[in-house]
């Protein structure tokens, strides 16, 4: 029985979760918050949902681009380069992004009498993004359960594993990660230098996957 919605960006993690839990998912939701890379990611999310026969919708959150402070909303040139764990990557935080998206997704789940909301945050996000941490997921899951008649749950099955682990799941599922997008700069090709590009390369290498991503260099 399909009882879930998924927040699906078009990146490696959410596309892996989409295929991993495809038999449970009734609806895929993408959010356009006017980030540098939304235009690259969302068409991929739509494509994968269509391929799996899963309904997909995109919700406009353009107010975030207007009122929130983040280098992810300021154009590709504002994105720092270097390792994902470096202090400068904190500039890419979009304040409470997951909290806002999950709140909307929980409301949509209840409106469709669905019980679960899936999100693909992972262990590598914890040091940079507060709303990816286990304690946040636990808290918003409790809020979803208490605040809905359907007693909805937020499930984040990748919270305690790495991106390399996710890539290994994708390898088992036969995914083509060239059909996903990671780069925060959002140019025609992955830059290969920003934190998300470096993390992507490392995860694919760790999983023993041939990286066919087109990089600028």
Annotated binding-site members for Zn(2+): 183, 191, 194, 197
When computed from its CA atoms, the radius of gyration of the chain, rounded to whole angstroms, is 16
3-state helix, strand, coil in the chain (%, to 5): 45, 15, 40
Residue 113 to residue 132: CA distance in whole angstroms? 26
Instruction: For the beta carbon of residue 53, count every other beta carbon within 10 angstroms.
Output: 7
Concatenated DSSP letters of 128-157: T-GGGSHHHHHHHHHHHHHT-TT--EEE-T
Binding residues for ATP: 8-18
Residues whose CB falls within 8 Å of the CB of residue 17, separated by 6 or more in sequence, listed in order = 6, 8, 118, 119, 120, 157, 158
Half-sphere exposure for 106 (CA within 13 Å, toward CB): 23
Phi, psi of 17 (to 5 degrees): -65, -35
Binding residues: 8-18, 183, 191, 194, 197
Residue 150 to residue 115: CA distance in whole angstroms? 6
């Amino acid at each position: 029985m399909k009882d879930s919605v998924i927040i699906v960006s078009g990146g490696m993690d959410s596309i892996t979760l989409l295929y991993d839990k495809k038999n449970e998912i009734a609806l895929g939701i993408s959010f356009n918050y006017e980030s540098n890379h939304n235009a690259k990611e969302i068409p991929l999310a739509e494509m994968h949902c269509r391929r799996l026969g899963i309904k997909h919708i995109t919700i406009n959150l353009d107010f975030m681009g207007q009122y929130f402070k983040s280098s992810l909303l300021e154009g590709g040139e504002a994105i720092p380069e270097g390792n994902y764990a470096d202090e400068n990557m904190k500039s890419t935080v979009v304040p409470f992004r997951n909290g806002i998206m999950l709140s909307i997704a929980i409301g949509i789940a209840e409106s469709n009498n669905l019980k679960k909301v899936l999100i693909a945050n992972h262990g590598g996000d914890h040091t940079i993004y507060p709303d990816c941490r286990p304690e946040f997921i636990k808290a918003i899951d409790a809020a979803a359960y208490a605040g809905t008649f359907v007693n909805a749950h937020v499930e984040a099955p990748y919270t305690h594993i790495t991106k390399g682990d996710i890539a290994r799941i994708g390898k088992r599922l036969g995914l083509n990660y060239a059909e996903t997008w990671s780069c925060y700069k959002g140019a025609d090709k992955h830059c290969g230098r920003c934190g998300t590009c470096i993390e992507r390369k490392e995860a694919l290498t760790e999983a023993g996957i041939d990286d066919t991503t087109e990089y600028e260099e």
